[in-house]
A and B are shown apart, each in its own frame.
Chain A
Amino acid sequence: MELCFSEVYGTDLPMAVQDTGVQKQALFAQWALPHKDYLYTACLYLARQRDEAEDLFQETYLRAFRFFHQFTPGTNCRAWLLTIMHNAFKNRYPHYQRASHTIEFDNAAHEYERKRLADGEAGRDDPAELLLSQMVESEVADALHALPEEYRSTLLLVDIEELTYEEAAGVLGCPIGTVRSRLSRARRLLRAALATYAREHGYSREEKSRNEQVAPLHKTGTKL
């Protein structure tokens, strides 16, 4: 066996694109850095611990800078950064990738919707809306973290990062139909969990301001 390089060196060698560090830094600052708050938020909601989120955030931007030549100008830079973040997350925490949670979903969301329908409340006065507007950041994060990873990622990309369904499908590497169904389930599951929590803690629509501190979901034992 013998591999020979003579023909590699001897034939069509194009000039590599020479991009100076200064140009690269300027373009990166112009296109990628404006999304840093969105990316940091995504890291916070995807990882379970703040230090994990900060490591993921830094790794994502370093990878993005290193592979910036792969970015296609004119496309959505935030979606490109989120794709890198999602890949880095999968590589770092493969154990977070869980199997389907259909049974838990059915039990939680269907039971809540059935009860609302039976009580004649469906379509109006959902306590989940009220709670969502009153919860502090850590409580929202706890509620989102309690969602199965596949649902959390989808809801995060569409509802928080404001990607289109097509862009979210590209980030997650799945068909657009999967994004639709996961998003439907994620919202219904989150709504059911928040509503249950609101009822357990006596929230009512008249309560406009929160004077008492509400404990985070995971500390009260509320299960999604």
Chain B
Amino acid sequence: MTCDIYQDLVAAHVDDALTAVEAAEVRAHLHACERCRRLFEDETRFRAALAARRFIVPVPADVERRLCGALHPEGEAARPFWLRLSAWLGATPLFPRLAFGLAVTGILIVMLLPRAFRSAPAPNLFTQAVHYYQTVTEGALPVEYVTEDPQGLQASFNTSGRLDFMTQVTDLRPAGYRLRGGKVVMGAGHPLAVSLYEGEGEEPIVCLRQRGTLPPLPQGTEGENDHYWYTSDGYTTMFTQFPDYFCVMISRQPKEIFLQHLALAPGS
């Protein structure tokens, strides 16, 4: 062991966090090196001084109050809608209740009548991607290949015999995302490779791959050179055209952060 190596291990030595093999090597080195022995003594005393110092700062009352105020609406929103509505109606005098009922009836008439006379719009790639995002992240469409290894999932996809193209699986670990797994979904004769990524405290990312070329993209789509992105309804979607297939990556992150994460993927 050299002094340089020991100096990078000195904290672990002081904290007694070395392996048995490392500890033996360190003991042998300290026996022969006065400089590192002194360093260890200095660092031990400094660590004790650090531990004796009280660093933890209590949350100020106004900050805690703001946090409680911000958390409360989420808890309120988690209550079933009919419970909140009945609680509100129960605490409201008769006239406002009647006015509320009339207003709801009017709104329903205005909303539902035109729908009866028009056909539903054809779903585009974005709305379909949002649908897959919701079903996969909410667990309604569970992954069948459970693995954190992108190469492993890629092999599972390509040897499944269920895809009509050879796919790749993006490695998002450099961006702090862990692969949860993937699933092959059959849709109108077109197999689709779906993969799910999760990061601690981050919005999940869902990736969809299908053979062929990108269909016409929604109005407002930006980008060029086979890379396009589109943001709407709180979702950011990245469309990429590969030689044999196209890829749709979708998340509920702001565009800048989402693109920043994707840029960290190898080969992106």
| A-to-B contact residues, CB < 8 Å | 1-8, 12-14, 16-17, 20-22, 24-25, 28, 36-38, 40-41, 44-45, 54, 57-58, 60-67, 70, 80, 83-84, 87-88, 90-91, 94, 113, 116-117, 122-124, 126, 128-129, 132-133, 137, 140, 158-160, 164-165, 173, 180-181, 183-188, 191
Q: Is the CB of A21 within 8 A of B78?
A: yes
Q: How many residues of B contact A (CB 8 A)?
A: 73
Chain A residue at minimal CB-CB distance from B203: A67
B74 contacts A by Cβ under 8 Å: yes
Q: Is the CB of B78 within 8 A of A84?
A: no
Of B11, B192, B201, B208, which is within 8 A of A87 by CB?
Answer: B201
Of B11, B49, B78, B246, which is within 8 A of A183 by CB?
Answer: B11
By secondary structure, the A interface counts as helix
Q: Is the CB of B187 within 8 A of A5?
A: yes
Residues of chain B within 8 A of A94, CB atoms compared = 260
Known: A4-B187, A58-B66, A158-B15. 4 other contacts (CB 8 A): A3-B187, A87-B176, A124-B41, A129-B49
Residues of chain B within 8 A of A183, CB atoms compared = 11-12
**Can you report 27 A-B residue pairs in the complex whose CB atoms are below 8 A from each other?**
A1-B125, A2-B188, A3-B192, A7-B185, A8-B132, A21-B79, A22-B78, A24-B78, A40-B58, A54-B66, A62-B74, A65-B74, A66-B74, A70-B198, A87-B202, A123-B41, A129-B49, A132-B50, A133-B52, A159-B47, A164-B17, A180-B11, A184-B10, A184-B12, A188-B39, A191-B43, A191-B46
- Complex alpha-carbon distance, A4 and B131, angstroms: 11
Of B142, B185, B186, B214, which is within 8 A of A1 by CB?
Answer: B214
- Complex alpha-carbon distance, A3 and B138, angstroms: 19
| Smallest beta-carbon distance B150→chain A, Å | 16
Residues of chain A within 8 A of B192, CB atoms compared = 3
Contacts known (A3-B128, A36-B64, A160-B55); A16 close to B139, Cβ less than 8 A:
yes
Q: Is the CB of B74 within 8 A of A14?
A: no
Residues of chain B within 8 A of A36, CB atoms compared = 59, 64, 67
| B-to-A contact residues, CB < 8 Å | 7-12, 15, 17, 35, 37-39, 41-43, 45-53, 55-59, 63-64, 66-67, 70-71, 74-79, 123, 125, 128, 131-132, 135, 138-142, 176, 185-188, 190, 192, 198-202, 208, 210, 212-215, 246, 257, 260
Q: Is the CB of A61 within 8 A of B71?
A: yes
- Complex alpha-carbon distance, A61 and B9, angstroms: 34
Residues of chain A within 8 A of B199, CB atoms compared = 87
Q: Is the CB of A180 within 8 A of B9?
A: yes
Chain A residue at minimal CB-CB distance from B144: A12
- Complex alpha-carbon distance, A58 and B186, angstroms: 43
Q: Is the CB of A84 within 8 A of B66?
A: no
Residues of chain B within 8 A of A45, CB atoms compared = 55
- Complex alpha-carbon distance, A37 and B57, angstroms: 6
Residues of chain B within 8 A of A116, CB atoms compared = 38, 42
Q: Is the CB of B56 within 8 A of A41?
A: yes
Residues of chain A within 8 A of B8, CB atoms compared = 180-181, 184-185
Interface centre among A1, A65, A91 (most CB of B within 10 A): A1
Q: Is the CB of A126 within 8 A of B70?
A: no
Contacts known (A4-B188, A44-B57); A64 close to B201, Cβ less than 8 A:
yes
| Smallest beta-carbon distance B109→chain A, Å | 29
Residues of chain A within 8 A of B215, CB atoms compared = 1
Q: Is the CB of B57 within 8 A of A137?
A: yes
| Smallest beta-carbon distance A139→chain B, Å | 11
- Complex alpha-carbon distance, A116 and B38, angstroms: 9
Residues of chain B within 8 A of A159, CB atoms compared = 47, 50-51
- Complex alpha-carbon distance, A41 and B257, angstroms: 26
| Smallest beta-carbon distance A3→chain B, Å | 4
Residues of chain B within 8 A of A137, CB atoms compared = 57
| Smallest beta-carbon distance A147→chain B, Å | 13
